[in-house]
Amino acid sequence: MPAAPLILPDTPQNRQLSENVHPCHWVNPEPAERYNLVVIGAGTAGLICAAGAAGLGAKVALVERNLMGGDCLNTGCVPSKALIRAARAVYDARTVSEFGMQDSNLAGFDFKVAMERMQRLRAGISRHDSATRFRDELGVDLFIGEACFSGPDSVHVDGKTLQFKKAAICTGARAAAPPVPGLAEAGYLTNETVFSLTELPLHLAVIGAGPIGCELAQTFCRFGSKVTLIELAPAILGREDRDAAAILQDALIREGIDLQLGVKISAVESRDDQKILHLEKDGHAIKITVDQILVGVGRAPNIEELALQTAGVAFDRSGVKVNDQLQTTNANIYAAGDVCSAYKFTHMADAQARILLANALFKGRQKVSDLIVPWCTYTDPEIAHVGMSEQDATAKGINVTTLTIPLSDIDRAVLDGETEGFARVHLHKDTDRILGATIVARHAGEMINELTLAITNNLGLGAIARTIHPYPTQAEVIKKLADSYNRTRLTPFLTRLLSGWLKWQRG
Ligand SMILES: Cc1cc2nc3c(=O)[nH]c(=O)nc-3n(C[C@H](O)[C@H](O)[C@H](O)COP(=O)(O)OP(=O)(O)OC[C@H]3O[C@@H](n4cnc5c(N)ncnc54)[C@H](O)[C@@H]3O)c2cc1C
Ligand SMILES: NC(=O)c1ccc[n+]([C@@H]2O[C@H](COP(=O)([O-])OP(=O)(O)OC[C@H]3O[C@@H](n4cnc5c(N)ncnc54)[C@H](O)[C@@H]3O)[C@@H](O)[C@H]2O)c1
């Protein structure tokens, strides 16, 4: 009988996942005399570093204390997006009457089936991050255990010492806990435990309306939980365009989420199986009784166990300190991903790992500040953003022209019944140079790529105006932005000139 999986519940899918990303009978190899690169942490950043370096012929050691694949595979992007997909199916089924289908209701929804689907898909995807693949196909020395520095050029794991020329700290981050009296005693879910639920909460309190809170509040509400979403700030998704966040805020309230904004949680107490949250809002006390609490109030870097002082690596509350080339205060040690990045995204961990490889192994001088970073919050509608916001540009003293097209102007969005949203670009004033963009649409995450490509490659809106977009697609909204830019170039003088020419043509 194989050991119980590291990720609960104990199901065949979770056993398969565990066997791939933390095999129970794994035997650590004998360390090489010296490694070109020792990578600590096998999340996205660490896996890209290890696979990339080994693929280029480096001798690489990779150390992971828990599950290879890190947050993204096990407790982040993958399980959350599988559940978001299930929640969309439930929502669509409930709102089909306008398409002529009979109303369906929630009675037929089985939470266990949605969770099993997530576990099955996650286990399948885990093959790419598996221990045996990294050892047998990529030639990486994989050590399972907790790593800590034992000197400026050595790491200790499982009673062994790994000597390195260069090291990469890729240890990621974990859920931060809000300092609320009684919360720890009452118990709460985080991203590490919410995907292990076996029963749908009847009433779920979600603390924090950032991406984690908004995505999962909407998901559980669609599954049929009563959801209270509690946010300290006066609005949700503080980092997003205000108009974009307002559209989502309305959608969440309309779907039945009890949204408590500008609220302080003064205490939590538990009574029988219930948890009681005491809130303060505008001087009033509010009491909410729930059966589960989910916390999503930001991340704390995983640095405590690394003995960073021993290696001369500086750090603070936000993580390992790195320069623009991802080098720490020890010139031979670099860091990438959530442990050092203000942008905590899988694609950013990936992009930083590539920079780390070039700079650490090949004396490259690539800079993080040169990256154009898109992101997307996978609510319904999605909110996707790339580049600067209007405030970023203003703070840099750049004059901006902002253009916005509502989705209600786009035929395909009208036909799909998905008109809630818009596309917006910020241009360098009097030019077609795109500084940043936000899209709110059901599949905004797919649509933002065209604008990311344009910004990354210095293509202005003019290039998009010259690009044919298939009709009818929702991405035509980006072409319409470009057309509206072209119209701004029609000065009264040019208009007079053109109309004079056409008049002359008529004879
Ligand atoms: C619920 C949720 C949803 C998300 N959704 C998205 C999304 O849709 N899109 C997106 O881009 N991002 C998303 N993210 C963010 C994304 O998961 C992270 O940005 C990404 O996983 C960071 O990768 P990383 O390699 O830096 O760190 P991690 O994935 O955290 O990996 C770090 C690894 O290091 C290991 N480790 C730590 N300390 C040690 C040690 N001392 N010794 C050995 N090993 C150690 C850990 O066990 C872990 O496996 C989401 C996050 C959450 C929580
Ligand atoms: N789709 C995606 O790419 C995606 C999805 C989920 C998570 N992530 C990543 O994970 C990271 C963490 O996400 P997150 O949502 O936990 O953090 P966050 O920092 O983005 O948002 C946390 C929210 O919690 C609020 N908050 C803080 N303390 C509070 C308190 N005591 N009471 C009530 N509200 C409080 C904050 O005001 C903020 O709005 C993000 O930075 C993001 O990069 C990305």
State how far the Cα of 39 lies from the Cα of 48, in Å rounded to an integer.
Answer: 10
Facing residues of 162 across strands?
155
Q: What CATH number should be reported for the domain holding residue 42? A: 3.50.50.60
The DSSP result for 249-288, as a single string, is: HHHHHHTT-EEEES-EEEEEEEETTEEEEEEEETTEEEEE
Residue 104 has pLDDT above 80, yes or no: no
Nearest CA to ligand 1 atom 35: 41
Tell whether 452 and 481 lie within a shared domain.
yes
Tell whether 415 and 276 lie within a shared domain.
no
Three-state secondary structure readout of 311-335:
HCCCEECCEECCCCCCECCCCCEEE
Answer yes or no: is 502 within a domain: no
Answer yes or no: is 19 within a domain: yes
Split at pLDDT 50, 70, 90, the class of 294 is very high
Number of domains composing the chain: 3
Kindly list the protein residues whose Cβ atom lies closer than 6 A to any atom of ligand 2.
178, 207-213, 215, 230-233, 238, 265, 296-299, 344-345, 375-378
What pLDDT, in 10s, does the model give residues 185-233?
999 999 999 999 999 999 999 999 999 999 999 999 999 999 999 999 9
Which of 22, 148, 344, 346 is the pocket-test mutation for ligand 1 (most atoms within 8 Å of CB)? 346
Tell whether 388 and 331 lie within a shared domain.
no
Would the annotation count 213 as a binding residue? yes
Token digits of residue 468: 């044919």
Residue 436 has pLDDT above 80, yes or no: yes
- Residue type for position 466: R
Nearest CA to ligand 1 atom 48: 70
Q: Which domain holds residue 268?
A: 194-297
Closest atom of ligand 1 relative to the 66 alpha carbon: 47
Helix (H), strand (E) at residue 72: helix 70-75
Tell whether 164 and 310 lie within a shared domain.
yes
- ipTM for the assembly: 0.99
Read off the pLDDT of each residue in 307-328 and give the average, rounded to a whole number: 98
Tell whether 235 and 224 lie within a shared domain.
yes
What pLDDT, in 10s, does the model give residues 361-381?
999 999 999 999 999 999 999
Tell whether 406 and 485 lie within a shared domain.
yes
Q: Give the pLDDT score at 97.
A: 87
Tell whether 98 and 87 lie within a shared domain.
yes
Kindly list the protein residues whose Cβ atom lies closer than 6 A to any atom of ligand 1.
40-46, 63-67, 70-72, 76-77, 80-81, 146-147, 170-173, 191, 212, 302, 305-306, 337-338, 344-347, 349, 378
Read off the pLDDT of each residue in 422-442 and give the average, rounded to a whole number: 97
Please say which residue of 370, 395, 411 terminates a domain: 370
- Residue type for position 229: L
Please say which residue of 348, 370, 392 terminates a domain: 370
What pLDDT, in 10s, does the model give residues 467-493?
999 999 999 999 999 999 988 888 889
Would the annotation count 81 as a binding residue? yes
Answer yes or no: is 180 within a domain: no
Residue 456 has pLDDT above 60, yes or no: yes
State how far the Cα of 212 lies from the Cα of 295, in Å rounded to an integer.
Answer: 9
Residue 494 has pLDDT above 80, yes or no: yes
Please say which residue of 279, 297, 315 terminates a domain: 297
Tell whether 335 and 391 lie within a shared domain.
no
User: Where do we find the tokens 């099955």?
Assistant: 120
Q: Give the pLDDT score at 403.
A: 97
Tell whether 27 and 121 lie within a shared domain.
yes
Q: Give the pLDDT score at 106.
A: 60
Facing residues of 40 across strands?
63, 169
Tell whether 361 and 410 lie within a shared domain.
no
Facing residues of 320 across strands?
315
Answer yes or no: is 186 within a domain: no
**Do the bridges between strand 160-169 and strand 35-40 make them parallel or antiparallel, or are there none, so unpaired?**
parallel
Cα end-to-end span (Å), the chain: 93
Tell whether 165 and 203 lie within a shared domain.
no
Closest atom of ligand 1 relative to the 68 alpha carbon: 49
Tell whether 114 and 29 lie within a shared domain.
yes
Residue 270 has pLDDT above 80, yes or no: yes
